[in-house]
Structure formats: C-alpha cells, structure tokens
Structure 1
Amino acid sequence: MAGAWIAVASAEHVRRGRAGGFMQVCHGKAAPLRRIRPGDRVAYYSPTEVFRGPGRLQAFTAVGTAHGGEPYQVDMGGGFHPFRRDVTWLDAAGEAPIQPLLGTLGFTAGVRNWGYQLRFGLFAVDPADLDLIAEAMGTRFPG
C-alpha cells in the first residue's frame, strides 16, 4: 500500500510547488524527501499564509501523489540549492482548515498537543487521513 505523508510549509511556498509540480520540505533538505516513495500520497499543511509572516492559516493547502525518481537539487540563486521531489497535485483541491478535522484525523484525534509533530516538517500518517483531507479539500485520489 502507498504511504501517506503530511508536509508542512507556508501557503505561499506550497503554491509555488503546486505551480511547478514539485514539493520541497525542511528548508530544502534531501533526507526527508528520500523517505517518500513513488505513488505515496502527500498533503501539505500550512500554518501560515507567508513564511515567518504574522497570523495563522492552519489549513491543508495541497494534496497529491509523488512521482518516481530520487529527489533532485535546484539552484534558486543566492547560494540556496534545495532538494525537490516531483508531485502530481490534485488541481481540484481547495484549501481546508484543520480545525473541523481535529476529531477525525488519526494523528490529531484525542491528542491535546496535536501541533507538536508538525514541527518536524514531514511525517507519516495513516492513509485514511489523506482520504479525509482530500475530501475536506473537495477532491479525491484517483483509483
């Protein structure tokens, strides 16, 4: 069975990845991306609209399926060379706030400090959580 992952980034950064067909996590580190396998499903959670910006968003902002191949490095200028992995993002997905899902997602249900694991930037979840997130975003995974 395909794996399921939650990645964490600002909505602004997630939108760049959706437009370019890629994901990038943990400030561009390769190791976390190597844990994702082709066919694994990924949802992005965005705590904020803008990286280090004021105010909270606390919503899922993208959902998709990882492509094959290894993470690859790109030159973004200014000495920044992050690693990325290609993803097919579900175009129909809208943003979905996490608050209404807290009682139903496996990684948050009954967990008082549910936000703690989001600090890791990428973590595995039960595949059923990805189905719930996709549904809340108004879409579903093919198949």
Structure 2
Amino acid sequence: MTKYWIGVASLNHVALGVAGGFSQLCHGKEAPLKKMKPGDWLVYYSPKQTLNTDEKCQSFTAIGRVKGSEIYPFAMSETFVPYRKDIDFFPDAKQVPLHTISQLEAWQKYRSSLRYGHFEIDKDFFLVLAERMGLPMKYES
C-alpha cells in the first residue's frame, strides 16, 4: 500500500537532493528512510532557504517517488556520513507557499508534525499538494 510522506529540509539541501536523485532526512538519520518503501511519495517542505540562516522559505519545494529499498551511507566529509535513499523527483515541480494552504483543514492536523522532520500524510492531502505543485496525472498512479 502506497504511503505519502513529508520531509522537512532547507531549500538548499532539497535542491542538492533533487539534483542528485536522493533523499536525506533528519540530518542524515537512517530511521526515517526505513519507513519509506518503493512506490511511496515524498513531498519536501522547506522552512528556510539555507540551514544556518533565518531567511524564510516556508514552501513545499519538491515532490518525488521512492525508487528502491536500498538505504546507503554517503561520506560528505570525514566526520559526516549521512544515509540516503534514491528518489525519482518530478523535475518541474512548482513551489507552493505554505500560506496558500495553511487554512486548509487537512493541513491543520499536520502542522505540529513539522518539528519531527519526517511524517506520514494521508492521500487526500498529498493529492492537494501534488496538484498545486503541477504533478501530471501520469505520476499519480
């Protein structure tokens, strides 16, 4: 059964993942990646433009489908080896500002979950996000 997820990351980190075709969640932890199975969907929410600044983004910034089940370590430096999982991102996704959906009842039940960095959403809310991000219907099956 397909599941739908939101991952939280700064826009610059999301852009690296989209360009590289991977997801890296919760500062590189393996546990959230284990929850996502092939065929599941992931939508990224970016509260900030970059991790260590206060410049806000507050938008849904990427959408993609989990490609495989492999979770692998990736050495970004000698001291930082986060885990990743491959994602087939929709390359033409439009950013959707949070304020355009913040009044939706569906969002109200999820907004407090942002602090967890990764959480499951229901299909109906995913479809709202997918439609607003411009995901073609062929991707939804």
State the TM-score, normalizing by the size of structure 1.
0.90
Letter in 1 for 2:25: V
Residue matched to 1:40: 40
Q: Structure 1 residue 135: deviation in Å?
A: 1.3
Which residue, 111, 120, 137 being the options, matches 2:133? Answer: 137
The answer to whether structure 1 residue 123 and structure 2 residue 116 are counterparts is: no
SS at match of 2:69: coil
Matches within 5 A, 1:47-126: 47-104=47-104, 106=106, 108-109=107-108, 115-126=111-122
SS at match of 1:85: strand
Which has the larger strand fraction? 2
Q: Structure 1 residue 116: deviation in Å?
A: 2.4
Aligned length: 139
Residue matched to 2:2: 2
CA-to-aligned-CA distance 1:58-110 (integer Å, 9 cap, x gap):
1001001001222110111131000001000011202110111123362x23x
The answer to whether structure 1 residue 26 and structure 2 residue 22 are counterparts is: no
State the TM-score, normalizing by the size of structure 2.
0.92
Query: What is the rounded CA distance, in whole Å, between the counterparts of 2:16 and 2:123 in structure 1?
Result: 25
Unpaired segments of 5 or more residues in structure 2?
none
Query: What is the rounded CA distance, in whole Å, between the counterparts of 1:14 and 1:102 in structure 2?
Result: 21
SS at match of 1:47: strand
Which has the larger helix fraction? 2
Unpaired segments of 5 or more residues in structure 1?
none
Query: What is the root-mean-square deviation in Å for CA atoms of aligned residues?
Result: 1.5
Residues 105 and 132 of structure 1 are in contact (CA less than 8 Å); yes or no, is this contact kept in structure 2? no
Query: What is the rounded CA distance, in whole Å, between the counterparts of 1:24 and 1:80 in structure 2?
Result: 12
